[in-house]
Amino acid sequence: MTASVAQVWEWLEGVPDPEIPAISIVDLGIVRDVAWSGDELRVAITPTYSGCPATSMIQRDIVSALHEHGLDRVRLDVELSPPWTTAAISASGHDKLRAYGIAPPNPDIAVACPRCGSTAVECTSTFGSTPCKSLYRCTACREPFDRFKCH
Amino acid sequence: MNAAAVDRSRFEFLLRAGDNGLILGQRLVVLIGHAPILEEELGMANVALDLLGHARMWLSYAGEVEGANRTEDDLAYFRGASEFRNALLVEQDNGDFAATIVRQFLFDTWHARALGAWSASSDERIAGIAQKAKREVDYHVTRSGDWVARLGDGTDESHARMQTALAQLWPYTGELFIADDVDRELAARGIAGSPEELRDAWLGDVAAVFARATLSIPEDAWTPSGGKRGLHSEHLSYLLAEMQSLRRSVPGTRW
């Protein structure tokens, strides 16, 4: 079976990140390219953090999602270069992170509490529950929250 | 120079890079559950994960370059101490928290400089891994540097412990900058710059933080070396025994 590249992108947008299921792997910028090579679909992906335990789950999820849509011949090409950065996260990805309670990684604006919007926040730990996040606390509403690191 | 010799140097380089990450990562993971505060526990676990991630990329490539069908897991779990190529610094015991942090800081600062240089490797795969790892290691440098400053310029007790740890670990930094035949061949081929070239910049990096920390850098004297050739302290065998025992006693086991 075959499908248009645009259709494949749409399917991949339905594959959530295993650690932050509010955002898809396409929003995260993990999927770099989709192309047919004869009757084999090639999906180029890039890992986020080198040690992220979700990386192998993401690869498995991509293949199984495409299998469910009837694509049997899928090849994943892992590209390291250029390295992934948080600049690859889409605008809709930023909105979804915020709605999920995670301050998105925007180096140009002050970190704001995803609950009350205040910028009166403090970083409590550069390293958080996953490699991609830091721990913050809002001093206005007292909410502790995660911030996606600018990387 | 024949192709087989070049591959051997490349293989050695990848083992050295991979083993540094693997061994220091293993040192750090045993502290999980024992860190002084929760945030530090997370920090240590994250740094260890990054280092293990880098080790996987280096060792997978090492296996491909060797061409003997060894995977990253084969290289991690089925080599003895004399086949490991990590620097002596990273296998040193965790000691107290001062020793853990000083070891980390001395390594992180070297690591960031080395990855910066390797990012320009003529081997695109090495350059790609180095560029990716560098972005993560910059965080490591900030974290361990902040701790060095805070504990060095802390209480009398923390200062004394940091100065003692520095005296113990400083001699092991010399090895990081000594070039051997493998390094010279890699430099000639444009695969990796000579380790000697990193020393001045690294010294500047660490001196700036030690000044903030009110710690004095020990005199250069005795320089133990040999890690890159497989001559290790006895610490490494104990570490490997723990790290490898499950895989060796139950071959082929998977999580």
Domains of chain A plus CATH, in order, are 5-84 (3.30.300.130), 102-148 (no CATH)
Model pLDDT, residue B10: 96
- pLDDT-derived band at A106 (thresholds 50, 70, 90) equals confident
Long-range own/partner contacts, residues B111-115 (CB < 8 A, 24 or more apart)? B111/B20, B111/B137, B111/B140, B111/B141, B112/B137, B112/B138, B112/B140, B112/B141, B112/B205, B113/B198, B113/B201, B113/B202, B113/B205, B114/B195, B114/B198
Model pLDDT, residue A126: 83
Residues belonging to chain B with any Cβ–Cβ distance to chain A shorter than 8 Å: 39, 42-43, 45-54, 56-57, 124-125, 127-129, 131-133, 135-136, 139, 142-143
A-chain residue closest to B51, CA distance: A51
**Considering Cα of B158, then B159, then B165, then B166, what sign does the dihedral take?**
positive
Answer whether A84 sits within 8 Å of B125, measured CB to CB: no
**Poorest-pLDDT segment among A82-96, B34-48, B185-199:** B34-48
* Minimum-distance CB partner of A129 among B42, B57, B131: B42
User: What's the total number of domains in chain B?
Assistant: 1
Q: Which residue has the higher pLDDT, A131 or A46?
A: A46
Model pLDDT, residue A42: 97
* Minimum-distance CB partner of A80 among B46, B132, B139: B132
Helix (H) / strand (E) element for B190: namely none
Structural domain includes residue B255? no
CATH number at residue B92: 1.20.1260.10
How far apart are the C-alpha atoms of B119 and B133, rounded to whole Å? Answer: 9
Between A and B, how many CB-CB pairs are < 8 A?
71
Structural domain includes residue B196? yes
Structural domain includes residue B87? yes
3-state DSSP percent of chain A in helix, strand and coil, to 5: 25, 25, 50
Model pLDDT, residue B42: 87
Beta bridge partners of A74: A41
- Identify the domain containing residue B233 by its residue range: 3-249
Structural domain includes residue B83? yes
Structural domain includes residue B254? no
How far apart are the C-alpha atoms of B103 and B95, rounded to whole Å? Answer: 10
In the three-class reduction of DSSP (H, G, I as helix; E, B as strand; rest coil), residue A50 is classed as: coil
pLDDT at A145 over 70: yes
* Minimum-distance CB partner of B50 among A51, A84, A124: A51
Residues of chain B in contact with residue A47, where contact means CB-CB under 8 angstroms, are 53, 132
Long-range own/partner contacts, residues A61-70 (CB < 8 A, 24 or more apart)? A61/A15, A61/A16, A61/A18, A61/A25, A62/A12, A62/A15, A62/A25, A62/A31, A65/A11, A65/A12, A65/A14, A65/A15, A66/A8, A66/A11, A66/A12, A66/A41, A69/A3, A69/A11, A70/A1, A70/A3
Model pLDDT, residue B47: 95
How far apart are the C-alpha atoms of A132 and B91, rounded to whole Å? Answer: 27
CA angle A57, A63, A69 (to 5 degrees): 135
pLDDT at B46 over 70: yes
Answer whether B132 sits within 8 Å of A51, measured CB to CB: no
Q: Which residue has the higher pLDDT, A116 or A51?
A: A116
**Å between A74 CA and nearest CA of chain B:** 22
Structural domain includes residue B235? yes
* 132-151 in chain A: CB under 8 A from chain B: 135, 149, 151
Structural domain includes residue B188? yes
Residues of chain B in contact with residue A83, where contact means CB-CB under 8 angstroms, are 128, 131-132, 135
How far apart are the C-alpha atoms of B128 and A59, rounded to whole Å? Answer: 20
- pLDDT-derived band at A127 (thresholds 50, 70, 90) equals confident
Helix (H) / strand (E) element for A42: namely strand A40-45
Structural domain includes residue B165? yes
**Å between A5 CA and nearest CA of chain B:** 27
Arithmetic mean of pLDDT over chain B: 94
